[in-house]
């Protein structure tokens, strides 16, 4: 009975946290808090993407940045693509860490359907090429 009450209190406190606080929680060393923040950000959907991108650009914490990339990637509804794909391209343009760049490219391939081209992606890690290709697809 006590455990149930504690879980309910934790879940209620997460609901009142701002997007900025949730993004900050992605850098925490507490796995439960990190996971909760991640899930809440995903549930917010594309409306929080601009803030996620802004915080990503300011962050130096690898785990926080990885959490932001993964939260954006989990927004997979077709109607999310017009927000998600440009955001991922923007992250690719500013990211220098090869591990995060590879993850962002894989996410772009998933969201755009470019994965079907095989293992060789002609756009690679070139953010400008991705941006140009995406803009052409929107015409």
**What does the pLDDT look like over 34-85, one tens digit per residue?**
889 889 999 999 999 999 999 999 999 999 999 999 999 999 999 999 999 9
How does the average pLDDT of the chain come out, rounded? 85
d(CA 107, CA 18): 26
pLDDT tops 90 at residue 100: yes
Q: At what angle do helices 49-58 and 81-94 cross, to 10 degrees?
A: 10
Cα Rg of the chain (Å, integer): 16
Residue 30 banded pLDDT, cuts 50, 70, 90: confident
d(CA 41, CA 58): 18
């Amino acid at each position: 009975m006590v455990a149930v009450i504690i879980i309910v209190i934790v879940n209620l406190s997460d609901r009142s946290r701002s997007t900025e606080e949730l993004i900050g929680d992605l850098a925490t060393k507490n796995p439960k808090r990190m996971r909760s923040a991640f899930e809440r950000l995903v549930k917010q959907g594309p409306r929080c993407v601009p803030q996620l991108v802004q915080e990503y650009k300011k962050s130096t914490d690898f785990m926080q940045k990885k959490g932001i990339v993964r939260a954006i990637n989990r927004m997979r509804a077709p109607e999310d693509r017009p927000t998600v794909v440009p955001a991922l391209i923007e992250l690719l343009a500013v990211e220098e860490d090869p591990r995060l760049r590879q993850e962002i490219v894989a996410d772009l391939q998933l969201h755009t359907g470019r994965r079907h081209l095989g293992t060789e992606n002609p756009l690679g890690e070139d953010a400008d090429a991705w941006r140009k290709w995406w803009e052409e697809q929107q015409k």
